[in-house]
Amino acid sequence: MLNKSIMDGDNPDLTEERMKGAFDTDKMAAVIYGSEKFAIRRREITESISRIPQLADSKPFSFMTREEKISESCRKLSVLSEHWNQLIDTNNEEEALHLYREVLGLEGHAFSLHETMFIPSLVAQANDEQQEKWLGRAKRREIIGCYAQTEMGHGTNLRALETTATYYPSTQEFILHTPTETALKWWPGALGKSSNYAVVVADLVIRDTHYGAHPFMVQLRDEKTHNPLPGITVGDIGPKMAFNGADNGFLGFNQYKLPRDHMLMRHSRVEENGTYTKPPHAKIGYSSMVKVRSRMAMDQGLFMVSALVIAVRYSAVRRQGFLDDKSREVKVLDYQTQQHRLFPSIARAYAFIFCGFETIQLYDQLLIDVKNGDTSGMSDLHALTSGLKSVVTHQTGEGIEQARMACGGHGYSMASYISEIYGVAIGGCTYEGENMVMLLQLARYLVKSVELVKTGKSKELGPMMNYLAEPDTQIDLTSGPEAYVKVFQHAARRQVWKATDKFHQLMESGQSRDIAWNNSAVELTRASRLHTRLYIMETFIRRVSSISDVSIKKVLIDLVNVHVNYEVLDIGTYALEHVSSTQLDSIRSQLYSSLDTLRPNAVSLIDSFQISDMQLRSVLGRRDGHVYTNLFEWAKASPLNQTHVLPSVNQYLKPMMDKAKL
Ligand SMILES: CCCCCCCCCC/C=C\CCCC(=O)SCCNC(=O)CCNC(=O)[C@H](O)C(C)(C)COP(=O)(O)OP(=O)(O)OC[C@H]1O[C@@H](n2cnc3c(N)ncnc32)[C@H](O)[C@@H]1OP(=O)(O)O
Ligand SMILES: Cc1cc2nc3c(=O)[nH]c(=O)nc-3n(C[C@H](O)[C@H](O)[C@H](O)COP(=O)(O)OP(=O)(O)OC[C@H]3O[C@@H](n4cnc5c(N)ncnc54)[C@H](O)[C@@H]3O)c2cc1C
């Protein structure tokens, strides 16, 4: 059996799809998740979870209030605490994240930031003694932490954060203070009600000198009573577009005293007498953000996959309209428009996940290098992850929204759960740096790279930048995916140079650097996007070329073909400089035939992600494909259907109608 999801009693339309798949989904899972070992561990963890009934949702999540969602996730976390060690290797971050996703889904929970930013901040920023004191406690979950940086008035411009941490040598303490309303910390996940500790980012002040944003370990709540400590104002910021299982919070300090050794001092130090030692790299304190950004291609890829699992499975059981055979309606997955809506997103999701593996490894390596005193890789990774987080979050949002529309009316129902996935995923366009701002961070790096080429220093170009120094060449589109890489290189190079030239010309015309930058910003963000999409394409092709299993490689090459054709058409306006409109027409034909080629493997390609029904929380995306019966059951469970006559009918509608009858 090639597709391991085939089960007796499943919807025959889905079974038929799974029989058509030309590759082994377990083998594909090993490629997706980086190794056979981890793919097996994922399945084992999912299997073990299913044997613990208390870890199941106590009722459909979509019918819960926000308070119920928070309570439900806390209940599950307490059940999990009895099983951690038997379920996962607690030192393995990927296993922990898989466990959280399976049991708690994506709407956030009390530990949302504990694993993703609080512990990583301690790992990267705390010195050995501080790690000794707090890291073990955090890993054992004796304490719950979050990452409190953003303020009501400033999130993007970290240099303008208003919260101060003023050091007093006489008492060897910092005083944390919130000088204005806009200085209130605002947004940190799990801050409002769950966390009792936080890594707080504040402006370090010593003897009236401001040293800028630095991280501090701060206790917020009493460990016995969970009440806020004196001098701390903390609470929940209220409901959000999505992610409502998380208590994103506000936090204020009123002259709150903090011992000297609570500043995280791996890289910068404040001595007892107030002497300040600066870090080896000015932006080393920003590392927790780089850590999350380096994960975002993977995490967003998985968000997009969740929506695609739902849309592709549903499209294989949804029958509507006719093609040749007028005796039976077709699966909507057979329509070319449906394939065009969904398959390029499947390709992007695979590509994002392969990029994600690469950037996660790059971050892990950087962490080792920095510990050994080598900060030289920081700028490269900052630039790469800034562009990548911006492009993947935007394209993931587009892909999920198309997946929702591809499910027609039922896609709009919470029974599909796609709107929730969209709401959570789209937050990524904003958190960890607003997308435009992060594209402009990459643009700084691109402009500097062009300046190196212009001044004859091409040898100093960073990784992935050499193409900026290369001349345009003839492109032979029949020579395979590499030709499409060339098209992207041409388009990206031209746009990067064009934007840089514009910036330089504006400065030469007398504009200040900042004004010239602002007046070139749209062109600069375009350059960043093209450069990042080139990186994604190259990574995808490189990863697929490295695969040895013949059947897996074949279907992934089909997916690469969908990707490269779609991407080049999508940047048609830029590509036109290098590709004729006749060539674009031929790319269009190739795209349509590549959709056709991929069609038989569509369900197996998304089954391969092995996302459980528990995690998916979608009636439309059920693995067994029994959509209609369960849709009816789901609707019957609506709180509105627990009584025939609602109190509001008796109170308002009936009297109104009765009055109208008089
Ligand atoms: C199913 C899947 C489930 C997956 C689960 C996922 C669930 C997710 C849950 C978590 C949810 C949310 C988490 C969100 C958490 C947050 O949002 S935390 C807050 C994040 N905040 C930000 O990102 C703020 C963005 N702003 C900044 O980073 C900086 O202000 C900015 C970089 C924009 C500017 O900083 P400045 O200090 O002002 O620096 P500049 O003058 O612009 O640049 C000077 C040079 O420094 C270089 N630089 C900047 N940053 C870095 C860095 N990190 N590393 C290396 N170098 C850096 C910059 O490029 C400049 O270099 P140059 O001078 O050009 O050479
Ligand atoms: C779901 C979610 C979870 C979050 N979790 C956390 C958390 O755990 N901890 C935490 O500390 N924070 C958290 N945040 C806050 C988040 O990091 C910030 O909201 C984000 O960094 C954007 O900053 P901002 O809100 O100040 O946006 P703004 O900077 O005010 O953005 C508004 C507009 O201004 C534009 N803009 C701003 N500056 C520039 C510029 N220099 N050039 C061009 N355009 C510019 C932006 O592009 C955008 O269009 C979270 C946010 C969300 C939505």
For residue 430, give the ligand 1 atom closest to its CA. 17
DSSP state of 249: E
603 lines ligand 1 (CB under 6 A): no
Q: Which of 147, 150, 394 maximizes ligand 2 atoms within 8 Å of its Cβ, making it the mutation to test the pocket? A: 150
The Cβ of residue 637 has, within 10 Å, a number of other Cβ atoms equal to: 13
Residue 120 tokens, joined: 């990583």
For residue 383, give the ligand 1 atom closest to its CA. 59
HSE of 238 in the Cβ direction (CA atoms, 13 Å)? 0
Pairing of strands 173-177, 249-253: unpaired
Query: For the chain, percent helix, then strand, then coil, each to nearest 5?
Result: 60, 10, 30
91 lines ligand 1 (CB under 6 A): no
What is the Cα–Cα distance from 416 to 414, expressed in whole angstroms? Answer: 5
| Local structure of 214: helix, strand or coil | strand
Which ligand ends up closest to the CA of 443? 1
| Local structure of 551: helix, strand or coil | helix
Query: How many helices and strands (H and E) does the chain possess?
Result: 26, 11
Nearest protein CA to atom 29 of ligand 2, as residue? 156
In order, the DSSP letters of 617-658 are --STT-TT--HHHHHHHHHHTSGGGGSSS-HHIIIIIHHHHH
pLDDT at residue 549, as a whole number: 97
For residue 445, give the ligand 1 atom closest to its CA. 64
CA of 452 to the centre of ligand 2 (A): 31
437 lines ligand 1 (CB under 6 A): yes
Which ligand ends up closest to the CA of 385? 1
240 lines ligand 1 (CB under 6 A): no
**Angle 133-138-140 from CA coordinates, rounded to 5°:** 110
Q: What is the Cα gyration radius of the chain?
A: 27
Q: Which residues line ligand 2 (CB under 6 A)?
A: 113, 147-150, 154-156, 187-189, 243, 248, 427, 430-431, 433-434, 436-437, 440
Going by C-alpha positions, the residue among 185, 191, 52, 57 that lies closest to residue 111 is 191
CA of 222 to the centre of ligand 1 (A): 31
149 lines ligand 1 (CB under 6 A): yes
Going by C-alpha positions, the residue among 504, 530, 486 that lies closest to residue 450 is 504
For residue 438, give the ligand 1 atom closest to its CA. 33
Q: What residues in the chain have per-residue pLDDT under 50?
A: none
542 lines ligand 1 (CB under 6 A): no
CA of 440 to the centre of ligand 2 (A): 14
Going by C-alpha positions, the residue among 564, 565, 510, 506 that lies closest to residue 537 is 564
CA of 110 to the centre of ligand 2 (A): 22
The Cβ of residue 615 has, within 10 Å, a number of other Cβ atoms equal to: 21
Which ligand ends up closest to the CA of 440? 2
CA of 434 to the centre of ligand 1 (A): 9
| Local structure of 34: helix, strand or coil | coil
109 lines ligand 1 (CB under 6 A): no
CB-based contact 304:396 (threshold 8 Å): yes
pLDDT at residue 476, as a whole number: 86
259: part of which helix (H) or strand (E)? strand 256-259
What is the Cα–Cα distance from 103 to 76, expressed in whole angstroms? Answer: 7
Which ligand ends up closest to the CA of 303? 1
Q: List, in order of start, the domains of the chain with CATH numbers.
A: 144-281 (2.40.110.10), 284-456+485-628 (1.20.140.10)
CA of 290 to the centre of ligand 1 (A): 6
Nearest protein CA to atom 62 of ligand 1, as residue? 444
> E strands, 133-246, where?
145-148, 164-168, 173-177, 185-186, 197-206, 209-219, 232-236
**Sequence-ordered list of residues with C-beta below 8 angstroms from that of 317, at least 6 positions apart, any chain:** 11, 13, 14, 331, 625, 627
432 lines ligand 1 (CB under 6 A): yes
CB-based contact 160:211 (threshold 8 Å): no
CA of 400 to the centre of ligand 2 (A): 22
What is the Cα–Cα distance from 509 to 516, expressed in whole angstroms? Answer: 9
CA of 228 to the centre of ligand 1 (A): 29
Nearest protein CA to atom 21 of ligand 1, as residue? 432
102 lines ligand 1 (CB under 6 A): no
- Enumerate the known binding-site residues for FAD: 150, 189
Q: Which of 431, 446, 452, 460 maximizes ligand 1 atoms within 8 Å of its Cβ, making it the mutation to test the pocket? A: 431
What digits encode the pLDDT tens for the residues 497-556? 999 999 999 999 999 999 999 999 999 999 999 999 999 999 999 999 999 999 999 999
Q: Which of the residues are catalytic? A: 432
**Sequence-ordered list of residues with C-beta below 8 angstroms from that of 204, at least 6 positions apart, any chain:** 165, 167, 210, 211, 212, 213, 214, 263, 270, 276
448 Cα distance to chain centroid: 28
Q: Which of 187, 236, 289, 424 maximizes ligand 2 atoms within 8 Å of its Cβ, making it the mutation to test the pocket? A: 187
Pairing of strands 164-168, 173-177: antiparallel
Q: Is 121 exposed, middle or buried (0-12, 13-18, 19+ CB in 10 A)?
A: buried
HSE of 59 in the Cβ direction (CA atoms, 13 Å)? 12
CA of 153 to the centre of ligand 2 (A): 10
For residue 432, give the ligand 2 atom closest to its CA. 17
What is the Cα–Cα distance from 541 to 487, expressed in whole angstroms? Answer: 14
Q: CA torsion, points 463, 465, 470, 474, in degrees to nearest 10?
A: 100
- Enumerate the known binding-site residues: 150, 189
Nearest protein CA to atom 2 of ligand 1, as residue? 299
Q: Which of 158, 163, 610 maximizes ligand 1 atoms within 8 Å of its Cβ, making it the mutation to test the pocket? A: 158
| Local structure of 202: helix, strand or coil | strand
Q: Is 398 exposed, middle or buried (0-12, 13-18, 19+ CB in 10 A)?
A: middle
Q: Tell which phi-psi region holds residue 183, choosing left (phi > 0), alpha (psi between -120 and 50) or beta.
A: alpha
**Sequence-ordered list of residues with C-beta below 8 angstroms from that of 482, at least 6 positions apart, any chain:** 541
DSSP state of 266: S
| Local structure of 6: helix, strand or coil | coil
Q: What is the ipTM of this complex?
A: 0.98
Q: Which of 32, 103, 111, 283 maximizes ligand 1 atoms within 8 Å of its Cβ, making it the mutation to test the pocket? A: 283
pLDDT at residue 474, as a whole number: 86
- What does the H/E/C string look like for 313-376? HHHHHCECCCCCCCCCCCEHHHCHHHHHHHHHHHHHHHHHHHHHHHHHHHHHHHHHHHHCCCCC
Residue 15 tokens, joined: 């079974």
